[in-house]
Copies of this chain bind each other. A is one copy, B any other.
Amino acid sequence: MGERSRGLTATELEAYFAFTEVSSLLRHSVEKQLRDAGDLSYVQFQLLARLGDAPDGRLRMTDLADGVVYSRSGLTYQAQLLEQRGLVTRGPSPEDERSTVVTVTEAGRDALDTVFPGHVAALRELLFSALTDADVEELARILGRAAGQLRANPPRSAAPRRRKGQ
């Protein structure tokens, strides 16, 4: 970025550019794989995967959204799509009548199983094949730190609600 790079060191710039490049290319490839293999968008895959890992495959809408979707209406939209396809069910929470609980169905787990091998293969081929075990460890450590920092810095200029929406 030429002169505008003042404020970042050369190494920082290099790391940032590499990060954005990897992020963009990897995301694009992965999205294509998920679409081709299971007709899932990346967001839908993330939501299903999250539910698949949750106890009983169930999560409240609010907890499901975290980090994946940045507006509540966006989550409602995606949850509707998944429900229409029979990959999740939605129902009221027994504990808190305001809440909606989303649950993965068997079909939802099948969709994950269908998509997952290709997903892993893509990651291995596109990302990990170029890295040593030590690289991967370093990457996990460093990005883990960065993730912690980002989590601790919620988007500023907060809006109406604190948790989900923006």
Q: Is the CB of B142 within 8 A of A21?
A: no
Q: What is the count of identical protomers in the complex? A: 2
A166 to B131, CA, bound (A): 26
Interface of A is mostly: helix
| A4-B112, A124-B7 known; A26 vs B150 contact (CB < 8 Å) | yes
Chain B residues contacting A53 (CB-CB under 8 Å) are 1-2
| Neighbour of A150 across the interface among B70, B127, B135, CB < 8 A | B127
- Which residues from 131 to 166 on chain A have a C-beta closer than 8 Å to any C-beta of chain B? 131, 133, 135-140, 142-151, 153, 155, 157
Q: Which residue of chain B has the shortest Cβ distance to A1 in the bound complex? A: B49
| A7-B117, A116-B4, A120-B7 known; A21 vs B139 contact (CB < 8 Å) | no
Q: Is the CB of B11 within 8 A of A136?
A: yes
Say how far A2's CB is from chain B's closest CB, in angstroms.
Answer: 5
Residue ranges of A at the interface with B (Cβ–Cβ < 8 Å): 1-2, 4, 6-9, 11-12, 14-16, 18-19, 21-29, 32, 36, 49, 52-53, 67-68, 70, 112-113, 116-117, 120-121, 123-131, 133, 135-140, 142-151, 153, 155, 157
